[in-house]
Structure 1
Amino acid sequence: MIGAGLLPLVIAGCGTRESESASVTGDQDLLQDYGFADADGPEIIDRLEALAVAERPQDLIASVTATSLQLEDDAGREAELPLPEDQFYLSVAPFVETTHECGFHSLTTCRGELRNREVAVNVVDSSSGKILEEGTRTTHDNGFLGLWLPRGIAGELTCTLDELTGSAPISTQAEDDLTCLTNLQLA
């Protein structure tokens, strides 16, 4: 995880690519060196999450908070990219036997038990009963599946693998809500 020493976010004016790039704080060369110069926070998250574990940069820590993507390499260079104000990234590692504690997802170091497995996913908004996400998703090579959810909701996430099912409450309401869900046991 990246320490609290990261530079504060610069507020973006509009939702255009140009203003999102302008709101990146920290070392622009870090983004360039890892091939992310023209990518925004969500694009980098999706690209790193989709990589096979063996292809993920070993010298880069990429952590997702409720409001930003924070990058730091072995040389101590840091960059922070804002996430959309209306979306929240939740990375979920459903498990049967083995898990780890986590609060803010690390795209380069977190590993889940169920790699490359098809899992049925259902997310329901607790206040409205509206289904926010429903369908089959395949966990990435790191054992996680990523969900881009609306901000400002409390809900229930259910995952099913074969005959095994588990549920967990989720929240996208606060700036300190967790982005890494590793306590959803399938039984």
Structure 2
Amino acid sequence: MQLMRLILPVSALLLTAGCASGGTGSAAGSAAGSDDLLREHGLERATVSEVVEQLDRTNEDRASGLSASVTYDSVTLQDDGQEAVLTMPEDEFYLAVAPWTTTTHDCFHHSLSGCQGELVNTPVQVLITDAAGTVLVDDAASTYDNGFVGFWLPKDIAGSLTITSAAGTATGTFSTFADSPTCITTLRLV
């Protein structure tokens, strides 16, 4: 029993600390005890997509103690021993991108409350196309307080993305499969 008490907090810490290397439905009621956690952070009426977007756009959750990470299937939120696992929308994938010029970090599963990109609140132009050349995103955007900008894309596709800012342009590839990263930190603007 004591070993189990040690393993659970350590595994939870590894899952949500910083960036993890390597929707449309309601967020409420996805896991036992999740209602209290969601209510404490004002998320009880938010959809999964709204939870992701709200937590990714601000650093306020860091001060509150809430940690959250995104995978293909779920969003895991943790705070003070409570956990909520929310199911991602069936046909949507959340991809967070942090363009950079000087500093970056390794990332695989985007931590909504721990990842910090270099370029905060920076205007960017984004072009995302699938492998067939269909334009999925062609918009002006701005990186969030955490230096990332996020996009909801169809699941189970691959393609390319180009980000342009006053600092330069970066082009790379992405995929939205079950084993794909939800966090891209390799796009250096030159």
Both proteins in one fold, TM over 0.5:
yes
- Pair 1:89-2:94 in alignment: yes
Picking from 25, 31, 39, the partner of 1:32 is: 39
Mapped partners of 2:40, 2:25: distance in 1: 23
Superposed, 1:1-187 pairs within 5 Å as: 2=12, 17=26, 21-22=28-29, 24-27=30-33, 28-51=35-58, 53=59, 55-58=60-63, 59-73=65-79, 75-126=80-131, 128-162=132-166, 164-173=168-177, 175-187=178-190
Which one-letter code corresponds to 1:140 in the other structure? Y
Relative to the length of structure 1, the TM-score reads: 0.84
Moved over 2 A (4+): 1-5, 55-58
Using structure 2 for the length normalisation, give the TM-score.
Answer: 0.83
More displaced stretch, 93-102 vs 26-35: 26-35
Tell me by how many angstroms 1:114 deviates: 0.6
Is the Cα contact below 8 Å between 1:121 and 1:133 reproduced in 2? yes
CA contact (8 A) 1:41 1:81 kept: yes
Alignment partners' CA distance in 2, 1:57 and 1:34: 12
CA contact (8 A) 2:62 2:114 kept: no
Q: Tell me, what secondary structure is at the counterpart of 1:29?
A: helix
* Inter-partner Cα distance in structure 1 for 2:151 and 2:12: 22
For structure 1, the 5+ residue unaligned runs are 6-14
CA distance in 1, matches of 2:186, 2:130: 19
Percent identity between the two aligned chains: 41
Unaligned runs of 5+ in 2: 1-10, 16-23
| CA–CA separation in structure 1 for the residues paired with 2:143 and 2:162 | 14
CA distance in 1, matches of 2:144, 2:32: 29
RMSD across aligned C-alpha pairs, in angstroms?
A: 2.0
